[in-house]
């Protein structure tokens, strides 16, 4: 199937039922680009306003409320040789009495080597620190229009997805979102060349991206929270605050997924989760926190 090339001519700072940037169909593959969290593109031109401008929305023909939209992330790559991070931990991730020791919340510049697939700290404010990291591209923001016609800032997240900053939103993963509006209205953005769990400095390594994805509409398939999978595992995502509520959403969604998609009864689901579940933390900086509930695929095999 042909790849649809989409060159954005506008960006959005909210998830909602906006005018479509492009209309696509079930099975279509789209190649597009995103800007960094401050609105700079691959040529370092300021083309969008802060914060977290996203590309889209992509109107998926045939997607209706009550369906599920599946988005396979076929390719994610920084498209320029620079990026930036904050330079200290966010105040909310340490003990309150430790906050004065954190120092400045300024920005640091990084050099991105696309041939060597690394990022190197390259800022005079930290000239004595030699730090090079392998790239691990991911999308900080991905989601659909929220329910009830809401328009919600790209600074937060919810059942529709949003600014989850989850490292599992990477190349090769397939993410699923509940559809709340006609056409689903998919948005992508906030590319991070690399990021630790939680986005605990308040940024990843922010840069602009080339993104390719493929969409599928799962008709009459209703889910409550985002789901995903990659080669080795399945996961569900809960977005809320406090953190335990996000965990509750993710765990409940996984329990339902085991029941409905894999045929495990309540006892089997409880025991499997109790003995094999893994949790990862997405965003703990922005208004809603993100928790991923994870099961390895080899734990889903049934005995004869």
20-76 residue pLDDT tens: 999 999 999 999 999 999 999 999 999 999 999 999 999 999 999 999 999 999 999
The per-residue pLDDT of the chain, averaged, comes to: 97
- Assess whether pLDDT exceeds 70 at residue 304: no
Which domains can be identified in the chain, with CATH numbers?
A: 3-81+135-218 (2.60.120.580), 231-299 (3.10.28.20)
Query: Given a cut of 50, is residue 112 above it in pLDDT?
Result: yes
Cα–Cα distance between 100 and 47 in angstroms, integer? 36
d(CA 170, CA 137) in angstroms, rounded, equals 6
Residues 125-133: contacts with CB under 8 Å, at least 24 apart: 125/87, 126/87, 133/194, 133/205
The tens digit of pLDDT for each residue in 162-201 reads: 999 999 999 999 999 999 999 999 999 999 999 999 999 9
303 has a pLDDT exceeding 60: no
Q: Which of 228, 235, 253, 238 is nearest to 174 (CA)?
A: 228
């Amino acid at each position: 199937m042909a790849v649809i090339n989409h060159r954005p001519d506008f960006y959005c700072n909210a998830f909602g039922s906006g005018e479509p940037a492009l209309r696509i169909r079930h099975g279509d593959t789209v190649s597009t680009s995103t800007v960094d969290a401050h609105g700079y593109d691959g040529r370092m031109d300021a083309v969008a306003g802060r914060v977290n401008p996203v590309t889209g929305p992509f109107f998926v023909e045939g997607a209706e409320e009550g369906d599920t939209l599946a988005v396979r992330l076929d390719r994610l790559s920084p498209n320029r040789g620079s990026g930036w991070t904050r330079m200290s931990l966010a105040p909310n991730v340490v003990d309150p009495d430790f906050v004065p020791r954190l120092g400045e919340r300024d920005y640091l510049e990084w050099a991105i080597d696309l041939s060597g697939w690394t990022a190197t700290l390259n800022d005079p404010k930290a000239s004595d620190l030699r730090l090079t990291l392998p790239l691990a591209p991911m999308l900080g923001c991905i989601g659909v229009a929220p329910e009830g016609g809401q328009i919600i800032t790209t600074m937060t997240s919810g059942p529709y997805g949003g600014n989850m900053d989850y490292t599992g939103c990477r190349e090769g993963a397939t993410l699923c979102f509940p559809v709340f509006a006609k056409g689903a209205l998919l948005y992508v953005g906030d590319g991070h060349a690399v990021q630790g769990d939680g986005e605990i400095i308040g940024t990843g390594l922010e840069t602009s991206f080339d993104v390719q994805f493929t969409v599928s509409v799962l008709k009459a398939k209703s889910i409550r929270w985002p789901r995903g999978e990659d080669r080795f595992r399945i996961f569900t995502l809960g977005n809320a605050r406090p953190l335990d509520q996000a965990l509750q959403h993710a765990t409940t969604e996984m329990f339902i997924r085991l029941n409905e998609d894999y045929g495990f009864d309540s006892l089997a689901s409880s025991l499997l989760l109790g003995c094999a579940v893994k949790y990862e933390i997405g965003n703990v900086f922005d208004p809603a926190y993100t928790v991923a509930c994870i099961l390895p695929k080899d734990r889903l095999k049934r005995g004869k």
